Structure 1
Amino acid sequence: MNAVTFPDTETQNLILPDWLNECLLCYESDKTNQNIDLICQAFNFAYKLHEGQTRKSGEPYIAHPVAVAGILRDLGGDKAMIAAGFLHDVVEDTEVTVEDIEQRFGPEVALLVEGVTKLSKFNFSNKTEQQAENFRRMFLAMARDIRVIVVKLADRLHNMRTLDPLRPDKQRRIALETKEIFAPLANRLGIWRVKWELEDLSFKYLDPKDYREIQNHVSEKRIDRETRIETVKNILQKRLHGIGVQVIELQGRPKHLYGIYSKMRRQNKGFHEIYDLAALRIIVNTNEECYRSLAVVHDIFKPMPGRFKDYIGLPKPNRYQSLHTTVVGLNGRPLEIQIRTLEMHHIAEYGIAAHWKYKETGGSDHSQLSDEDEKFTWLRQLLDWQNDLKDDQEYVDNLKENLFDDDVYVFTPNGDVIALSRGATPVDFAYRIHTEVGNHMKGARVNGKWSVLDQPLNNGDIVEIITQKNSHPSLDWLNFVVTPTARNRIRQWYKRSHREENMSRGREILEKELGKNGFEALLKSEPMQTVAQKCNYHSVDDLLAGLGYGGITLNQVVNRVREVTVTHQKEDPHAITLPSASPSPSCPTKPNKSPILGVEGLVYHIAGCCKPLPGEPIIGVVTKGNRGISIHTQNCSNIENVSGEQFIPVRWNTQDNKGFVSTYPVDVQIEVLDRVGVLKDILLRVSNHHVNVCNAGVKTGRNKPAIINLRIEIRDRQQLDYLINSISNMSDVLNIHRVNGVNF
């Protein structure tokens, strides 16, 4: 590496933090220290590259990477992380490449810089498809080296601290992304001090009025709060010393502003109704002293029922450990007390950064996700979802619902702890243990008693799964499982168990399209095997099954058949000839994207009895024969006597409708006063709502109202409501209702 030559003008442009000044001085006196060498060289390189660049505030740009490196140092980051903090913007903002970084600073630093550079380009507020792809890439980067996201969090934290110079709209966009994505990630990594500050800073820009109001209230009560905390500290210090517990630290801390705000909203209370605005933390030497201290606390102050949590015996997935209890303190005010060891406190403050175990020999293989890293179970589960959930909307929905929610912790009969999403059932538990356990599940015992399968599990439950060789999943399970893995495994089993039926259906669909002439010979031909492989299926039978259950569209298969046979015929003039076929206008091919979520990979159709529209609650029903899933409105009278085992939970796809059916046929019947021109006036109203009429009929009778029957093409329930209301307001209209659907 080049020697560090810090510019003479540095004192005019930049005030360096003490730690960096000390580092530079140490480097000048001892150039053999490789740790200092890497950090100083990275700073020097970044300083030269960013020289002349300024931030929106007008300060030298180098102040930002210096601050990011400082945050990483405070979090306990290693030399590679601190170096990456200095260099994290050089690839994006200068002509330097990742290869240049690797040549100068090694593959470990280059990997971190490249990862952060890619994350910086992600936008989590755009349309669902791109948002889902960005999430997937981010978690893959985290799995490759978890330090990438920690460097990114440090970058985001300093950007949030210096957000004032930006436009209000940009402030809100960045703050919202921080609140929804990066603060929860800091929480999952256990870096509480970063999580709390990100939440408070986001709160400041997203709801400045409430932020200032709570900030003022907290400031007004500060002296009173500190006085009460000091009194409690003295009482506890004396008692704990009396029983021989060595207290390393006994400190009070105010709750962060966003936490107070969230509690006010959650409990629908005003600020003056929230009493536990501060917490007391007791730090001791050993686990045993933690429990002895808890006994003293509960002896002095009355514990509040249901407000005790033992995270020492049952740590969180991010390895957070502590005893939490809320007691009735002085003047009858609740007081939260946390008790932990010094090691637990270090992990609680710094999270994953508190226990880096990277080899000093260089390289980044040691930082990859391993099966033994229980603290990364949640990240491994996210990677599993990437394979399980192909639909972008479902992936993003499940991510936001499950990644950032609290977990529920349950035990296997052997005492192993399993973390599940809140609301998870014994079926979710079974599939978490193993796919075959779920597929052969007969029943479950919870805490030694038989349990219904849809019963949500609670913290501390001991769950035992009873399996039987001939048992199999029920489609009814899809109505209550909450984990994406369980839902996908149940669907996969359904597809496999109906393979012969799906193959027969696929064969029938393809034969109808291509014609019977030469069809059997085509299926057995070499080109057809090539078609299957090009469609990502192992064999022709697999392809037919996929076509049968909707895993691939008819249009995709036919296009591949034509493409392959044309190529094959050029190579071999005697090759089999493709049967003549043309798309049937009466039977349009299935679009690439389904307007209904929940039936991915299954054949389905809209029920003719109720003809549901987007915007109406729907349910899927497994039909007999070869018709697949029938989609009904949830209040359809024809499904009242259907067995619950036949139901499949489904919902309309709210994504951009490009690529799938945009209108649905609806029959309406209108009773009107018979007069000349009434049909014309009604059709004019229909036209004004941009609705197409497929069919119209009129029935009249002597001295009776006329009956007009219309078949119209409707986009969704809202459009139908607007049209119905518009026609109802006509003075000649006596009644209007939807035929074979919901009456109005």
Structure 2
Amino acid sequence: MNAQTAPAASDPVAALARAGGAVPAALRDAVATMPSTRLDGVGAAELDATLDALARLGADGEMLAAAVLHAFNLPAPDARAAFDARFPGIASLLEGQRAAEPVWTLHAQQTRGQGSEGLRRLLLAMVRDLRVVPILLARQLARMRLATSRPEDERRRLAALTRDIHAPLANRLGIWQLKWELEDLAFRFLEPATYQQIARLLDEKRADRERYVAQVRDVLDDALRAQGIEADVVGRPKHIYSIWKKMQRKGVPIGELYDLRAVRVLVDDVAACYAALGVVHSTWVPIPSEFDDYIARPKRNDYRSLHTAVIGPEGKTLEVQIRTHDMHRQAELGVAAHWKYKEGGGPGGASAQAAAAFERKIAWMRRLLEHSGQDGALANELDSELVEDRVYVLTPKGEVVDLPAGATPLDFAYHVHTEVGHRCRGAKVDGRIVPLDHKLRSGDRVEILTGKVSEPRRDWLVASNGFLASARSREKVRTWFNRLDRERNEQAGRELLDKELRRMGLLGADLAPARERFHLAGDGELYVQVALGDLGPHQVARVLLEHEREPEPRAEPELPQRRARVESKGRGEFTVEGVGNLLVQLARCCQPLPGEPIAGYLTRGRGVSVHRPDCASFQRLAGAQPQRVLPVEWRRAGSGYEVDVELVALDRKWLLKEVTNVVAQANAGLASLNTEHERGGGRLRLRLRVKVGDYGQLAGLLGRLAALPGVEQARRA
């Protein structure tokens, strides 16, 4: 049954039949078995008008079916999983229509269209299947056509939604047959007196205007043919809303608008454009102030055309636009469509990168509409290209905030206000508490939990921690720390760097190679750079690691082969076989203890570093330069050695008290203790730095800790 001639249907089976043969037969059979309600007269008429509009756009069977099923609220929620598996294409269109509903609700909560640009961007971000947008536009047009049957307050709300959301989207998509009607209908209900006044003025002169434009077309067509110029000359329809906008913009009455009588000339190439312009100006007297050459000087959105106004037949003003067929197609459907300057300059407040990404999505929509769903390969290509590089989240009041992809609640806090970011201590997303490195998604409603004091954390600046995705947010944190005194920055940077160097087995390494690489005067400058986030700890560690691997610039000195027991300078508890008068230091990476095997490695400028033989750092160094390995033995135990211990235990009452009691009973010292809750499972990870006399004391301590109730693991870190 033809979609443009069939009567409205009030049940889903009849409505699908009315949508035409493009709807899959399997879908019609499935819907026939679903329980559903019937639409009333208004609902059936709205669906009928929706299908008509979609048919004019060349919508495919899935789009028509999705419009029908959404109108009847099918399938039921408990049957959606099975339906989605059978009809995934239609399911995505239905999900997109459902996802748009919160946008209409948010718009109703706003006043006078504030934040409408953000809502339009949020809508496009939430709709994953781009074919949903024409369905939404067609349905809104159907509702507006039948809005006279609604109460006045409801009619005005519907018109405001159309003006703020649907008409601008139709404009951006270049769907002019929907755009003009949506704008005019919205204007009719929002400004009824002004609408009727302009409509009356146009009606009084419509017949004369149409006769006049027909006369101009005949004269201009003959003049162009006489000069050998092949051209299509067409009249340009004017719409009430666009006339009102131009009257407002220029501050003139309707009688002084030049383009109420207008024609458009379409030719094959640029040379013909200027030739046609010469014909127009030689036929009628031009108005100099009304000439614009957008071919030589295109608009910033690449719109190209020649615009001129002349004193036409009967002394009446006439607007003429001249462009090539390619320019016309680009202006009607391409990225040069003039929505930017007609709507006031594109996405307000967005970065150039965000605006470019938004325009790419609009371009994809245009391409999809051009193919009318007939090219499956194109649809797959669009799906694969649609990688959203912005997210659009909501404040607790429903305002839309535009953030870069990968943004976190902390980025949101700094976007709201610098001080909110500095005081941020936690966040809720859709009412649920989330960590500060949680990745936000479009449509999330974010609430920031703040403290009384500004206390940003330095690890927010470490990119690998994932707290901040926005360079602007990181700069705000960096600026805050820049205000601190130098001593505190140096101390914080030293702690961050030592933590990374310990992990890499480089703790205590000479920092000179890093200072030279980054052109810094001393270690203090290096620590400050790390503290402020200008240098990452991993960058410094990588430089030191590369330096360790570099070949010696000169021949290696011969190491003595004799086996003499000589006490080395600096640590009296060691003897290094064959070498005397050397500095000796314990490696911080593996923290060897008296009573366990050790080995030495001759470093550059730092003497002998003592490791456990199974230490990963020692094995790496020894594998690269085995000639630097020296035999080392314990001579006598020192006064105490710090070693890191890690426990994994069930989080319970009195756990920390029992752990510290065990450390004291083992006659060991406790230098530091840190705890961290593991996500899920109710477990706690404890990191202790204890001071022991030898390996035997450590082994006894680990045994006692492992025996505590709830302790699942006790090991040397």
**TM-score w.r.t. structure 1 length?**
0.45
| TM score, norm. by length of structure 2 | 0.47
Q: Which has the higher Rg, Structure 1 or Structure 2?
A: 2
